[in-house]
Amino acid sequence: MATNRITVLLADDHTVVREGLRALLAAETDIEVIGEAANGREAVALAQQLLPAVLVMDILMPRLNGVEATRQIRQLCPATRILILTARSEDRYIQQATALGIAGYLLKQASARTVCAAIRDVHQGRKAFSPSIACRLPHQCADHCGTCVYREACLTEREVEVLQLVAEGLPNKQIAPELGLSIRTVEKHRGALTRKLNIFDTASLTRYAIGAGLVDSTSGAPAPDARHPSLSMA
C-alpha cells in the first residue's frame, strides 16, 4: 500500500452511489477510499476517527444534512478538505456550503475523470467547482448575511439538528438516543426552536425545514394527527 495516497471518505445516503464512487476511485493508484458514511452523523464520526485528506459528501442526507455535517467537520477536522458532490444546484445550497469554506462543489452529472481530478485539486489546496456553479460564485460568496435561512432565527447547532430530525418524523424518544441526549433535554431544545421560529405544529415545522434546505420535500415527516398537533410529542 502506497503511503502517499490521497485518503478519501465517502458520505452519501445512497448505497449505489457510494459503491459506484468506490469502484471508480479504486482504479486510481493515488487515491484510497478509507471509509463510507450513510448519513451526516456518520460522516462526522468517521471524519474524526479516520482523518481523511478529502471528504466527498452529498448535501441532503438523513440524520444530519451535508451542510451541518460540513460545519461540524470544519471545526473538528480542519485539515480535511470537503468536496460536495450532489444533484442539488439551488442557490441556497451553494451559498450555505461555500460560506463554510468547502474546497469544491460538483454536480453528480460530472464525469468520472472530473471527480478524480477534483479530489486531486482540493487535496493540493485548489478549488474545484462545476462550471455551472463556478459562474455563480462571485454573487454567492459576496453574501455572507443569513447564509442559512434557519440561521436568521438564531438557532443553535443543536436546535438545527433537532429540527431536521423532527422534520424526518422522529419523536423525542428516538431523537434523544440519536443525539446522545435525555428526552428532557430534547424537549427543551425543541421548545426553544419552536419559540424562536414561532411555529407550534409539526407539519408547519416540517415545511419550514424543507424551505430551509434541511430535508428534501420527499423525505419530510408525514402530517401529524389533527388530534395531536402539539410539538411535545414524546
Q: Kindly tell me if the per-residue pLDDT of 104 is higher than 50.
A: yes
Q: Which of 29-43, 99-113, 119-133, 153-167 is predicted least confidently? A: 153-167
Q: Which CATH architecture has domain 149-211?
A: Orthogonal Bundle (1.10)
Amino acid 140: pLDDT: 43
Find the mean pLDDT for residues 153-178.
87
Residue 1 vs residues 4, 21, 31, 53, 116: alpha-carbon distances, Å: 9, 20, 11, 16, 19
The DSSP output letter for 226 is T
Range 6-142: architecture per CATH: 3-Layer(aba) Sandwich (3.40)
Which pLDDT value is given to residue 217?
A: 66
Q: Where are the domain boundaries for CATH 3.40.50.2300 in the chain?
A: 6-142
Q: Is the pLDDT of residue 47 over 80?
A: yes
φ/ψ of 9, rounded to 5, equals: -110, 130
Tell whether the model's pLDDT for residue 149 goes beyond 60. no
Q: Where in the chain is the domain with CATH 1.10.10.10?
A: 149-211
* Choice among 32-36, 63-67, 148-152 with the minimum mean pLDDT: 148-152
- Neighbouring CB atoms inside 10 A of 226's CB total 8
For 65, 87, 130, the CA distances from 109, given in Å and listed in that order, are 21, 8, 10
Q: Is the pLDDT of residue 25 over 90?
A: yes
DSSP string, 27-39: T-TTEEEEEEESS
Write down the H helix ranges in 124-221: 131-134, 137-142, 157-167, 172-179, 183-197, 202-211
